[in-house]
C-alpha cells in the first residue's frame, strides 16, 4: 500500500485528497496495524471516530471521514470509540526537513504531547508559553496551526488531556478528582464540563472492570499501549537484558515471556512518587501492556510517555526499513532502545564507554 501519511497538512488538490482517502479506507478494511496512529476515521452514521485497527464492522465508504489527528476528529464533532480507544494509538508524526512551518508545528505537537506541560497554565497562557519556547509569536503559532491542521493549539491540547483522562478512568481506580488533576485540569468542575461537552458522557460512565492480559497476575489493572508492527521484541529485550542493573531492574526473555520490571522514582508538581512498573509484550497483538504499583497511579500519563520512549513504541517501521533494508535486510522491526529518564540515559552513555557492556553494567550497579 502506498505510504501517503507523511504530513498532516491538507492535500494540495481534490484529486490527491480522494486518492489519500481511498488508501486510508483500504487500510481500514484490512485493519492494518502499520497505520495505527497515522490516521483516524470518523463515521458519520454513528458520530464516533476510530483507529484503523478497530474490530467493529467496517463502515461504508460514504460514511467515512479521515483525519490525521484525534483532535481534528473531535473538532469535527466526533467522539472517541470506546472499543478501540484512540488514546492507545501510537503517536509521533514524520518530520520534514524542507518546510519550516511544518517543522514548527510538529515541534509544538511534541511539546503539547508531554504530560508535564498539560497543567502548566490555562487558556491563552498555554499558547503564549508554547510560542515563547519556540521563539515565535502566539499569533503566528495559531496561524500555522490552523493552516496545517485546521485546529488551534488549545483544541489539540484539550484532546490530549481528555484522552489521557479517558485512559485513567478506564484502566485505573483513581478517584475522579485525581484523574482530573493528573490530566492537567485545574479543577474537577472544569474537567466534568469538558468531558460532557466533548463526549456527552459523565466521567464515571467510563469506569469498568477489565480482565488482566496474559502474563499479568489475576486482579491487576493493566494499561495497553499500541505500536506499529513489525516489532523485533527479542532484539530490543535482549539489548535491555544485557544492560539491566540488578536490584533496580529484572528482565525476563524467552518465548511467550518478554517482561521488564523495574523500580521507579518520579517527581511531579513538587511531589515525589515511588513504586514499580511491569511491562510486557502481548503475544498475537501489536501492543504492550503496562502495570504499575498503586503509588504511581497519579503520574500514570508521565509513566506512559516514558515507557513509550523506552520501548520506542511510536517509531515508524516503514521509515526505518526504507533505510535499513538495502544493507541490512534481516533488521525488520528493529527499534532504538531508550532509558527511563534523561539522567539515567546520560549516566549509561558515560559508563557505556567502558571496554565491555559487562564492565559498564558493573559500574552502574555500584553507582
Closest CA to 344 of 271, 243, 273: 243
Q: What pLDDT shows up at residue 52?
A: 95
Under a CB-based contact definition with an 8 Å cutoff, are residues 204 and 196 in contact?
Answer: no
pLDDT in tens, 122-150: 666 788 888 898 888 989 999 999 998 99
Contact in structure between 119 and 92 (CB atoms under 8 Å)? no
The C-alpha cell at 90 is 501510537
Q: Is the peptide bond before 230 cis (omega within 30 degrees of 0)?
A: yes
Chain segment 276-317, per-residue pLDDT in tens: 999 999 777 889 999 999 889 888 999 999 999 999 999 988
Cα end-to-end span (Å), the chain: 49
- What DSSP line would sit under 7-38, residue for residue? --SPPSSHHHHHHHHHHHHHHHHHT-GGGBTT
Task: Write out the three cell numbers for 242.
Answer: 544485557
Three-state DSSP class for 365?
helix
pLDDT above 90 as % of the chain? 46
CA–CA separation, 298 and 72 (whole Å): 28
Query: Is residue 11 scored above 60 in pLDDT?
Result: no
Q: Which residue is associated with the grid cell 478494511?
A: 29
Q: Which domains does the chain have, with CATH numbers?
A: 14-88 (3.40.10.10), 100-206 (1.10.10.60), 223-366 (3.30.310.20)
Amino acid at each position: 500500500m502506498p505510504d501517503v501519511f507523511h504530513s498532516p497538512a491538507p492535500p494540495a488538490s481534490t484529486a490527491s485528497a480522494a486518492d489519500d482517502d481511498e488508501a486510508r479506507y483500504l487500510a481500514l478494511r484490512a485493519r492494518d496495524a502499520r497505520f495505527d496512529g497515522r490516521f483516524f476515521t470518523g463515521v458519520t452514521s454513528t458520530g464516533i471516530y476510530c483507529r484503523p485497527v478497530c474490530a467493529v464492522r467496517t463502515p461504508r465508504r460514504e460514511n467515512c471521514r479521515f483525519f490525521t489527528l484525534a483532535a481534528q476528529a473531535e473538532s469535527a464533532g466526533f467522539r472517541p470509540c470506546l472499543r478501540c480507544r484512540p488514546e492507545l494509538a501510537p503517536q509521533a508524526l514524520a518530520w520534514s526537513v524542507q518546510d519550516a512551518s511544518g517543522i514548527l508545528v510538529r515541534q509544538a505537537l511534541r511539546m503539547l504531547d508531554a504530560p508535564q506541560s498539560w497543567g502548566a497554565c490555562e487558556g491563552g497562557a498555554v499558547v503564549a508559553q508554547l510560542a515563547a519556547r519556540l521563539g515565535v509569536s502566539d499569533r503566528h503559532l495559531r496561524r500555522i496551526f490552523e493552516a496545517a491542521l485546521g485546529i488551534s493549539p488549545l483544541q489539540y491540547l484539550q484532546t490530549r488531556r481528555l484522552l489521557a483522562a479517558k485512559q485513567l478512568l478506564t484502566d485505573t481506580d483513581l478517584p475522579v478528582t485525581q484523574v482530573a488533576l493528573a490530566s492537567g485540569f485545574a479543577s474537577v468542575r472544569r474537567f466534568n464540563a469538558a468531558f460532557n461537552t466533548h463526549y456527552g458522557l459523565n466521567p464515571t460512565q467510563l469506569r469498568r472492570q477489565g480482565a488482566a492480559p496474559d502474563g499479568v497476575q489475576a486482579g491487576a489493572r493493566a494499561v495497553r499501549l499500541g505500536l506499529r508492527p513489525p516489532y523485533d521484541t527479542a532484539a530490543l529485550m535482549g539489548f535491555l537484558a544485557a544492560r539491566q542493573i540488578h536490584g533496580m531492574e529484572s528482565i525476563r526473555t524467552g518465548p511467550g515471556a518478554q517482561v521488564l520490571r523495574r523500580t521507579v522514582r518520579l517527581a511531579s508538581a513538587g511531589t515525589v512518587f515511588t513504586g514499580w512498573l511491569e511491562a510486557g509484550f502481548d503475544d498475537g497483538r501489536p501492543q504492550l501492556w503496562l502495570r504499575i504499583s498503586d503509588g504511581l497511579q497519579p503520574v500514570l500519563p508521565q509513566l506512559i510517555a516514558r515507557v513509550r520512549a523506552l520501548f520506542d513504541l511510536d517509531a515508524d517501521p516503514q521509515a526505518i526499513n526504507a533505510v535499513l533494508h538495502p544493507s541490512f535486510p534481516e533488521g525488520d522491526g528493529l527499534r532504538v532502545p531508550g532509558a527511563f529518564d534523561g539522567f539515567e540515559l546520560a549516566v549509561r552513555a558515560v559508563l557505556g564507554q567502558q571496554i565491555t557492556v559487562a564492565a559498564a553494567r558493573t559500574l552502574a550497579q555500584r553507582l
